[in-house]
Amino acid sequence: MAPELERLSLNQVSVNRWSLPEAVEGCARGGLRWIGLWRDKVAACGLERSARLVRDAGLEVSSLCRGGFFPAATAAERRARVDDNRRAVDEAAALGTGVLVLVCGPAPDRDLESARRHVAEGIAEVAPYAAGAGVRLGVEPLHPMYAGDRSVVVTLAQASALAERLPPEQVGVVVDVYHVWWDPEVFGEIDRAAGRILGYHVSDWLAPPPDPLLGRGLMGDGRICLPPLRQAVEAAGYTGPIEVEIFNQAVWDLPGDDAVALIKARYLAHV
């Protein structure tokens, strides 16, 4: 492997047409060391088989997406969400990754404050269990564009405040440039998160955004100045894998190997 590609991880959603076995083969063919997995694709392949395929291909799993979605209208439903997060922890451990990414979930109603409290409570319930399995929870703030349907946690400041309630061995944050690039406080907040950064994800922000969900760009196609952000997470002590996570229909429509080739080239040029 080219040493400059050693930290690149292909988040498998970037080549969404590939099944898990295809993504594993594609990473191996592309000379990558890391892969980021999604629970739905792991489930479709089977957990044990997924773990074996990854291991046999000599890959490492940078993270599993995703736990979270804690807020719910009833205590019973919130309990079910916590249980599901415990299963996600088990899956992460079986796949050999130490990081479960949390997308915290939206409010079930218009009450953001209660929903944010449910997130804190859910994390507090799952974190010790996760630590016991060798898995840390990575709170990923999502772009405020997703505040209504995906996450009431929308700033790195919020994510760190949640993480700081628990030991760094249990909970940290995931910095995804697409979600945080706009934030006037982003550099100070990355600095604050030193020792808690469990993942660094890259893509680009197209302007104007072509679509709220499938509008992420390849690095270099958009508005995000990536080098200072990478420098900041490294200055904060993060030296782990860098996941390329691109939700973009045009990228998804490419043949998988072509998408991987493009991602490698853009990573080398822009990340």
Which is closer to a copy of itself, CB of 56 or CB of 149? Answer: 149
Which is closer to a copy of itself, CB of 87 or CB of 223? Answer: 223
147 binds a copy of itself, rule: CB under 8 A: yes
Stretch that binds a copy of itself, among 23-31, 58-66, 195-203, 218-226 (CB under 8 A): 218-226
Give the count of beta carbons closer than 10 Å to the beta carbon of residue 1.
10
Among 11, 63, 85, 155, binds a copy of itself (CB under 8 A): 155
Which is closer to a copy of itself, CB of 63 or CB of 155? Answer: 155
144 binds a copy of itself, rule: CB under 8 A: yes
Comparing CA positions, the residue from 211, 228, 198, 209 lying closest to residue 36 is 198
222 binds a copy of itself, rule: CB under 8 A: yes
47 binds a copy of itself, rule: CB under 8 A: no
User: Residue 33: left if φ>0, alpha if ψ -120 to 50, beta else—which one?
Assistant: alpha
Which is closer to a copy of itself, CB of 56 or CB of 211? Answer: 211
Tell me how far, at minimum, the Cβ of 182 lies from a copy of itself, in Å: 4
149 binds a copy of itself, rule: CB under 8 A: yes
Stretch that binds a copy of itself, among 4-12, 72-80, 124-132, 142-150 (CB under 8 A): 142-150
66 binds a copy of itself, rule: CB under 8 A: no
Size of interface with a copy of itself, in residues (CB under 8 A): 36
Cis peptide bond prior to 208, omega within 30° of 0: yes
- Write out the residues near a copy of itself by the rule CB under 8 A: 106-107, 110-112, 116, 143-150, 154-155, 157-158, 181-184, 205-213, 215, 222-225
